[in-house]
Amino acid sequence: MAQAVALFWHFLLLGCIAVGGVSTVMPDMHRYVVDELQLVSSREFADLYALAQAAPGPNALWVTILGLHAAGGLGAIATTVGVLIPATTFSYVASLLQAKHADSPLALAFRRGLAPVALGFMLASCWLLLRAVGHDWRSYAVAFAAVGVATKTDVNPLWLLAIGAVLGIAGLV
Amino acid sequence: MSAGKEGRDRGTPDKFGDERVTQGPRRGCPYTGKRCAGVEYHRPMSVSGSAGPRSPREIFLTFARIGLSGFGGVLFWIRRVLIQEKRWITDEELLEGLAIGQILPGPNVYNLSFMLGHRWFGLRGAFAAIGGLLAAPIVILVILGLLYRAYSDVAVLQHALRGMAAVAAGLLLASAVGMAATLPRRLVPWLFMLLAFAGVGLMRWPLIYVMAMLAPFAMYFAWRRQ
C-alpha cells in the first residue's frame, strides 16, 4: 500500500512533465522504481517495456505493467492513474480553448506551424524504433517490407503483425 | 497511398456545405469516386466540414477497435480507421491534433483521442474515446504482466514480440509517409519537419527542448502567412 502511494505521487509528478509522451520520462521512472525503491530489476524493466511496446494499445500503458510488477494491482492503478490525471486535465483545458478559439489567428498559427514539427517527431520515433529493433539487416528488411505492403495494398495490417510474430518465433528476425 | 490526397479533397468545409448524404457501407465516395468502407457524410462539422461519429457509443466502439488493433503503437490505426475508413477527420486535422497532443504532457495518442472525442461529443465523447482506447489493452497487459511474473523468461513470447516490433516500426513509418504527403509544398514546413526529426531522432535531444526551440519560429512563420 505504501509503495502504491509512493508510486502514485511520483508518477503523478512525472505525468505533469511528460511532454512528448511517457517515454520522455522513462529515465526517471527507471531511477525511481529500479534504483530508489528497488521494486523491479533493470532487466525486468527493459523486458516489461518491450512487452508493452508490442502489446495492443498505447505504448504508454507500459506504466501499468510496470506498476503491476512493482506493487501488484494497487501499483498498476497507482502508476496508470498517476500518469493519466495530468494528461486528462491538460487535454480537457486544451479542448475547451480549442472549442472557443478554434479560428483565431493564434490558434491557426499554432496548429499549422506545429503540424510539421509533430510529423518530424513522428519520423524520429520511426527512426528510433527501427534502430531499436534493427539487430541486423533482416529486421530492417521486415520493417521496410511492412512499409511497402501497408502503403501499396489494402491488406489488413494485423496479418503483417502476425507474420512478423511468426518470423520472430522462427528466429528469422 | 492516395489516402492523403483524398483527405485533402474532402477537407474544405464549403465542399460539404449543406450536403447531408448518408452513404451505405462499401459505396463509392461521392467526392473522390473512390471506394471506401462505411463512409457516412451525415453530420458535417462546422469547424472542419468532416463527418463525425453519431454517438459516444460509436466513439467508444471505434476507439476500442483501434486500441485492440494497435500492436506496437496506436497512431497507425488511428490514421487508418479514423481517416481512411471512417473519414471522421483529415490528415491535416490529425497532424494538428497530434501537434497539440505532443505539447501537452502525457501519452500523445491519449491526449489526441481525448481531444477528438471532446470535439465530437464533449466530455462524454472524450471519455468514450479514452475509455475505448484503454479498456481492452489494459486487460491484455495485466494478463501479459501476470504471465511474465509467472514465467519471466518467455523466450517464444519475446521472439514473437521482436518480429512484431519490426513490423510495427514499418507501419508507423508508412503512416508518417502518408501524412507527409499532405504537408504544403513549401520550403518552411518541410524544413521544420526535418529539424524536428534531426533534433529528436539523430541528436537524441529531449523532445521538450526541441519543441521549445522550434515552436516559436514554426508558429511565427505560420502566422506570417495568414
* Mutant choice from B153, B167, B219 vs A, greatest count of A C-beta within 10 A: B167
* Residue B28, H or E segment: strand B27-28
- The answer to whether A100 faces chain B, any CB pair under 8 Å, is no
Smallest Cβ distance to A54: which of B1, B72, B196?
A: B72
**C-alpha of A35 from chain center:** 22
> Cell numbers of B118, please?
471532446
- At residue B16, the pLDDT reads 40
Question: Residue B21's Cα: distance from chain center in Å?
Answer: 25
Bridge partners of B105? Answer: A19
Best residue of B77, B164, B177, B186 to probe chain A, by most A CBs closer than 10 Å = B164
Q: pTM of the full predicted structure?
A: 0.78
Residues A153-168: what's their mean pLDDT?
88
Residue B219 C-alpha, separation from nearest chain A C-alpha, in angstroms: 5
Q: A6 vs chain B: nearest CA distance in angstroms? A: 19
Contact A51 B71 (CB under 8 A): no
The beta-carbon neighbor of B164 closest among A110, A120, A161 is A161
Mean pLDDT by 10 residues, chain B (226 residues): 40 39 38 38 41 92 94 87 92 90 90 95 96 94 85 74 84 88 91 94 85 92 90
Query: Euclidean distance between the first and final Cα of chain B, in Å?
Result: 30
What the block records as the C-alpha cell of A73 is 494491482
Of B102, B170, B199, the CB nearest to A150: B170
Tell me how crowded residue B155 is: count the other CB atoms within 10 A of its CB: 9
